Structure 1
Amino acid sequence: MENSATFRFYEELNDFLPREKRKITFEYLFNGGPSIKDAIEANGIPHVEVDLILVNGRSVGFDYTLKGGDCVSVYPIFEFLDITSVCLLRESPLREMKFILDTHLGKLAKYLRLTGFDTIYRNDYEDKEIIRISLAEHRVILTRDIGMLKVKSVIYGYFVRSQIPREQILELLKHFDLYRLIKPFSRCIKCNGKLTEVEKEEIVDQLEPLTKKYFNRFFRCTGCQSIFWEGSHLNRMKELISEIEKRKESKNQGIG
């Protein structure tokens, strides 16, 4: 016997819906008694992007069995709004933002590390390994593969909308409200290790003649021991940080 329920998805969850279903209440037809998680994903929404489900005004978990006549409201992640008392989907909200990226987001990984975020990336990771590390280390999976975000065991994840790396980092900063956590040039873009300032005299024997001549401020990675200095890429990154700050100001003023 076919039953029906009404669904309403809020904010960026509408990105996954066809235009005719965005930002409205619509009817959902189903047979049997599917879980609310299965019904949500049948509508194209990865469960990891959902933080709160209300059925007939009551908060429910992913295992709730959908019934005919139910009125369902689905809300996106509230990373910096504590909804612990009403959210039944996860044991606790994620507070420390750490990431692991799929193989298609290498340039985004560099941007995240340059802005100071703990970011794991390798171009040979398989989906199963990404999911395993995410669960073990409580990392948010960033991906352009919706299918990976629908894997049942995945808890934290986000579908990156933009395909342009520079826009992707701005998208993430806005979505997760990360502006106050930015620490430029504090992580190694090669291995994700932390950078510490080092005296020139300590590493002078590792420098090329022109680097030794024209630069005086140096940083060393505590992981791979790579040496960094304020080279030609610095101005480009300062431009990005400046753009980030402008976006932050616009957000605070309610612009855009």
Structure 2
Amino acid sequence: MDPSSVLEETTQDVSNLQAEFKYILEEIRSTDLKFYENKKKYLQRDSQIHKFIKQHGSLTENSKEGELQEKIAKDLDICRDLQNDKCILANTALFLVTKHLNKLMKNIQILEEDGQLAPLDDEKETESGGEASRESSVLSAVSERKRRATPAGATNKKRRRTERASSRNRDYTPVSGVSDTNFDLQDYNDDLFSGYNQAEEDDKQPYCFCQSVSFGEMVACDGPNCKYEWFHYGCVNLKEPPKGAWYCPECRQELANSRLKKRRYRF
């Protein structure tokens, strides 16, 4: 073993990292798409429950609520499993880098013990002198290796490279589009979070007297014809969820007027 062989072996080992990382990122992206699809499902089911409460009041029993809650729980379990899968994929990428780095450091240690490279501690003391010594030893070894290279040696190296590539192909099967050498990480991130941003932009409807979008703690009015539907706690002076049916000031006034008219009718 000499510095040039370590350099060549390391270069060959990491040559497939780009394809492996593209495969892992594609898998993470695919998992994210599944995650947001299930998130959309449980948000829609949760919206159905809230819509029923707005239309019929919180005291009216919803015959479908139990079934919807069960489906929401399953969707949340699927989302949790998908998040765990993403963590495993990310750890796989970390493992690949760590494996190659540990192998390189081990080979460097062997070269130092054989006296072919200056130890790291000595290099720190001599600073630029040690660095120049190491660089010159690597370059001279590479030159020497090129001078004494033979067709047989080239054949052996080609065979080792082919075996290593075939081994990786068995372990990794990139999905469609992974082999694209112009893979853009920024485009991947934009696509990845587009679903999340879209979900945030879906509900832009104004609510409450303040005519602002939904945020923080809100309460639904049980008035069947309420034009605001939902209210922020602070706008209606609430600090905790109301018990029983709750009506906004306008709906309370409308109910009072309706009752007054009924009483006048009786007399």
Q: Do the structures match in fold with TM over 0.5? A: no
TM-score, structure 1 length as denominator?
Answer: 0.18
Q: Which structure is larger by alpha-carbon Rg, 1 or 2?
A: 2
More relative contact order, 1 or 2 (CA 8 Å, 6+ apart): 2
- Which of the two has greater helix per residue? 2
